[in-house]
A and B are shown apart, each in its own frame.
Chain A
Amino acid sequence: GENVEQHPSTLSVQEGDSAVIKCTYSDSASNYFPWYKQELGKRPQLIIDIRSNVGEKKDQRIAVTLNKTAKHFSLHITETQPEDSAVYFCAATPRGTNFGNEKLTFGTGTRLTIIP
């Protein structure tokens, strides 16, 4: 089955600087890679996603890059703000023969702390 590795496990960044979180996956069939943000005690919420036919996607201060050959993808947050502090999870999923049967395999999470 799919295995997703995520680094670093913790990351502290000065407010205004950039943060980068990296993930690798093992299953070459995986073709959808969402990123979730989880604030303390709250539900995971999708912040950005990328499909395997795209190398990069950007949404305001957040961007994700995908390298299918190397099987890794990264989250980039620029101009970080205190409200970016949270745990970030990457995930991967293959498209099954029955759409909807698309379990997410999550990475181990990165605790991002923005230092004011």
Chain B
Amino acid sequence: EPEVTQTPSHQVTQMGQEVILRCVPISNHLYFYWYRQILGQKVEFLVSFYNNEISEKSEIFDDQFSVERPDGSNFTLKIRSTKLEDSAMYFCASSEGLAGSYNEQFFGPGTRLTVL
């Protein structure tokens, strides 16, 4: 069964450094999402992406964050200048985007980001 994949599984970085988290959504899916989960807390929506542009973003997704689909398979989340509070598990998700119905979001295994 196709799955969303993410790399790396764990990223450690120094405060102020840039990080890029990578995701490969399921191949026929059209909608892509990033969520984050601070340790022990709930999963929070960051951004949704469709047709090469952001369709919605949360208050968390400020100017330090950006997303990109650089080629036909990867979907990336960039944090320009990391802060301590960016430490979290970041989940990528994708969905089919079939007309007329809600489409299940499939989650990747996550990237644990640790900012020191």
Contact = CB atoms under 8 A, between A and B. Distances in A.
Interface of A: 32, 34, 36, 42-46, 49, 51, 89, 93, 95-96, 98-109
B105 interface: yes
B42 A106 contact: yes
Contact of B55 (A95, A100, A108): A100
Contact of B43 (A44, A45, A46): A44
Contacts, number: 67
A59 to B, nearest CB: 14
Contacts of A105: 45
Nearest to B58: A103
Interface string B67-84: 000000000000000000
A105 B63 CA distance: 22
B58 to A, nearest CB: 7
Contact of B50 (A36, A101, A107, A109): A101
A107 B91 contact: no
21 contacts: A34-B104, A36-B43, A43-B91, A44-B91, A45-B107, A49-B102, A51-B102, A89-B43, A99-B100, A99-B101, A100-B31, A100-B48, A100-B50, A101-B48, A102-B95, A102-B103, A103-B48, A106-B42, A106-B43, A106-B44, A109-B41
A43 B108 contact: yes
B95 to A, nearest CB: 7
A103 B45 contact: yes
Contacts of B104: 34, 46, 49
B95 A100 contact: yes
A102 B102 contact: yes
A89 B48 CA distance: 20
Nearest to B47: A103
B21 to A, nearest CB: 14
B18 to A, nearest CB: 25
Given A32-B102, A99-B99, A101-B48, A108 B110 contact: no
